[in-house]
Amino acid sequence: MSRQARLDSPGTHSRFLANLSACNAQAGRAKKRALPQCRKLLGLNPAVPEIPKKSPQDLMRELTGIDISRCPNCKKGTMVIGEL
């Protein structure tokens, strides 16, 4: 069963959208505040560890051992993305 509501005035739309974005922002802040407490309950260090930023190529190489910059056929040449 689906529920539908009719919104007649333009002001109703803007109030609805403003409330929706405010709810999403509050939910994000609540999750960020709760994360240290969750980590503590799990027996982990409450401080959120820094995650090093890696390129997709480095992540793929680390996780699978595959160098995605190499040619999949000959495994020697370096692949270059370009227009045909």
**pLDDT tens digits along 13-69:** 666 666 655 555 566 777 778 888 888 888 888 887 888 898 888 999 999 998 888
Higher pLDDT, 11 or 42: 42
- Environment class of residue 80 by beta-carbon count within 10 Å: exposed (0-12), middle (13-18) or buried (19+)? exposed
Query: What pLDDT shows up at residue 9?
Result: 62
The tens digit of pLDDT for each residue in 68-81 reads 888 888 878 787 77
| Contact predicate 78/71, CB 8 Å | yes
Mind giving me the DSSP string for 35-84?
HHHHHHHTTS-SSPPPPPP--HHHHHHHHHS--TTB-TTTSSSBP-----
Query: What pLDDT shows up at residue 64?
Result: 93
Domain ranges in the chain are 10-49, 52-84
Query: What pLDDT shows up at residue 36?
Result: 86
